[in-house]
Amino acid sequence: MDTVSTGEAVAFWILGSLAVIGALGMVLARNAVHSALWLVVTMLCLGFLYVVNSAPFLGAVQIIVYTGAIMMLFLFVLMLVGRDASDSLIETLRGQRIAAVLLGVGFAALVGTGLARSLGDTTAVGLTDANAGGNVQGLASLLFTRYVFAFEVTSALLITAAVGAMILAHVQRDKADTVDQATRMKERFRPGNYPGAKPGPGVYANTMSVAAPARLPDGNGSERSISPILPVRELTSDEAAPKGTEK
């Protein structure tokens, strides 16, 4: 078909513009989480474009697999390892940003030129078999008949890669390396170690002594907050006063 319907053209310009904006946001965003979310916008637009061009199977795969699974995995990894972008702003090699921009523009021009020359006057073939009885039904028939061997080999490679990643990430520990609770308790109370829990970040500590009791709402000390083997040390007035109220 040489002509494009008005609805398809409008959908292309709207979704294509959003996809380009999402791609630019992904590259220009300083926060890694924001960059991943911009990439989600681009993938959603690509999925909708597949559906508009009578390829509902590719559209569903694009949205479910790439946007719903892989991108969520990226976000989980970013949340686990941290999303601070200060390290990414430090150039380990001088001029690497300029080189990356030039290489990216050159690669985009090379790919665009190759696609334009190869697809400009080429008639698409194989669409009749792929859409026989419906897009999903036609693709399923081709995958499990003509391309069943390639499909199964690809599945075996993916399973092998997943098992290999599990083996590489697994850490084997001997029974001798396992530390029980009694050993950990002895390590805590050895000379030079700190047996008690230290205050969290942002919490002002009135004293660093493990023998100082915690404060109850009424201001009195809680004897249950310290170990019975440690003597209770009474705080002086200067130590008990909150920060900023010392006289």
Instruction: Give one DSSP letter per residue of 42-102, joined into a string.
Output: HHHHHHHHHHHTT-HHHHHHIIIIIIIIIHHHHHHHHHHH----TGGGS-SSTTHHHHHHH
Q: Is residue 143 part of a domain?
A: yes
Q: Is residue 74 part of a domain?
A: yes
Please tell me the least confidently modeled range out of 89-93, 121-125, 177-181, 240-244: 240-244
Model confidence at 107, in pLDDT bands (50, 70, 90)?
A: very high
In the chain, the number of structural domains is 2
> Once rounded to an integer, what is the mean pLDDT over residues 141-152?
86
Angle at 125 between CA 130 and CA 55, to 5 degrees: 40
Q: Calculate the average pLDDT of the chain.
A: 76
Q: Say if residues 26 and 45 touch (Cβ distance below 8 Å).
A: no
Q: Which of 122, 145, 169 is the last residue of a domain?
A: 169
- pLDDT over threshold 80, residue 214: no
Could you list the residue range(s) of the whole structural domain that residue 28 is in?
Answer: 7-84
| Alpha carbon distance 102, 96 (integer Å) | 10
Q: How many residues does the chain have?
A: 247
Q: Is residue 140 part of a domain?
A: yes
Residue bearing the bigger pLDDT, 197 or 217: 217
Give the pLDDT score at 185: 74
Model confidence at 244, in pLDDT bands (50, 70, 90)?
A: very low
> Once rounded to an integer, what is the mean pLDDT over residues 113-126?
75
* pLDDT tens digits, one per residue of 58-79: 888 888 888 888 888 887 777 7
Q: Is residue 53 part of a domain?
A: yes
CATH number at residue 50: 1.20.120.1200
Give the pLDDT score at 236: 53
Give the pLDDT score at 18: 92
